[in-house]
Amino acid sequence: MSLWTSLEPASTTVAPGSTATVRLRLRNTGDVVDEYRFRPVGALAPWTTVEPAALRLYPGTTGAVELTFAPPRTPDAAAGPHPYGVQITPTEHPEATTVPEGSVTVTPFTEIRAELVPPTVRGRFRGRPRLAVDNLGNTRVTASVSGSDNGGQLSYDIRPSNVQIEPGRAAFVKTVLKPRQITWFGTAEDRPYTLGITRSGDPRLDVDGTYVQKSFLPGWLATFFGLLLALAITFVMLWFTYAPKVRTLAQEKQVAVAPSALPEDTSSEEPAPEESEASGPAESAEPDSPAATEEGGGSGDAETAAECAVDEDDGRLYCSNTPDATGYEKRSYDSAVRGELETEYSWFECWGHGEQTRSDHEDDGDGDDIWYWTKLDNGSWGNVASSDLSAEQHPVPGLQECR
């Protein structure tokens, strides 16, 4: 090799945004005049310049060029030592290329930038701003985030409250702002707040924002409710002052109970057993005695309770029933209870099919599926099971079926 080189100094330090200079000395140890061209190589090559870019030396002479390092003040100039090299190519002997090497240490610097997105949030119960923190330095940043405001009117839920950000990267911190008191009525109120970013050994960086707290109910709705309340009070006062007098001319309708559904056989000198047993109740159900009324299914005379017959005038069944017989909303024991028949003799409007009825006596077994529609003693209408009636046949002949 016909070239001698030396870097002065071989190692140096440079701060981002500034420059550092290293001198490269070389001697032509050959026996011919040669021209040398210089090209920086390595990670620092984009920020390295060589002056002059070419140098012509006679045999036995020495020359020098200057290397200038100018790393930018950006995250790209990573802090720490960086090796570099300068490729020297002789013009006369290009195959005899040499690369002297050195080292440059880039000093660290920290710089962060923070921004609230959005800077103003609105809400009735909470606000959700996001804090964007950018690391513009060339080393990792560890910081904590906290919130504050004048008067302590807001509470802060910050996640995460501690962040680590690599050079050239950004971190997003979610924040939930909650007012400590709810504004029920009125106009919106501005509540300024501050999110602070604290780093070890560096001053705190504050970012200001505004939370606009809206009232729970808008102002026009409060006015509307006030007017509505005033109108309601006025209406009540006028009603009690000028209350209309209402009288009814309606009267209860008296319904005569049919004495018997079976005509008496007067041609026979000796009556049948069934007729003799029913003769007593039939005589007690003469038109002179009042019949069952419309209320409570209609209660009849206790002496006529043995008869079950359909009245030809109103088409209703008049029959004795179990005391406190239950009336159901539907023709089923599982449906809602509408009331009871407290009397032992009632009238029934019509009949229909439903759930299999049950007898109160274990030896009677299950009954049929006939239910009777009637007005209960509390004024409600309901279905009564046929097992609660004393009729011998269900449905009772002559009673219409419910539609």
Q: Which amino acid is at 251?
A: Q
- Taking phi over 0 as left and psi of -120 to 50 as alpha, with beta for the rest, 226 belongs to alpha
Its pTM stands at: 0.49
pLDDT by 10-residue block (mean), the chain, 403 residues: 86 95 93 93 93 93 95 93 94 89 94 92 92 93 92 92 92 93 81 92 90 79 82 89 62 50 41 34 34 44 61 92 93 94 92 87 66 94 93 91 91
- How many whole angstroms from its chain centre is CA 265? 80
Other Cβ atoms within 10 Å of 39 Cβ, number: 15
Q: What DSSP state is assigned to residue 303?
A: G
Q: What DSSP state is assigned to residue 253?
A: P
- Residues shown for the chain: 403
Peptide bond before residue 118 is cis, with ω within 30 degrees of 0: yes
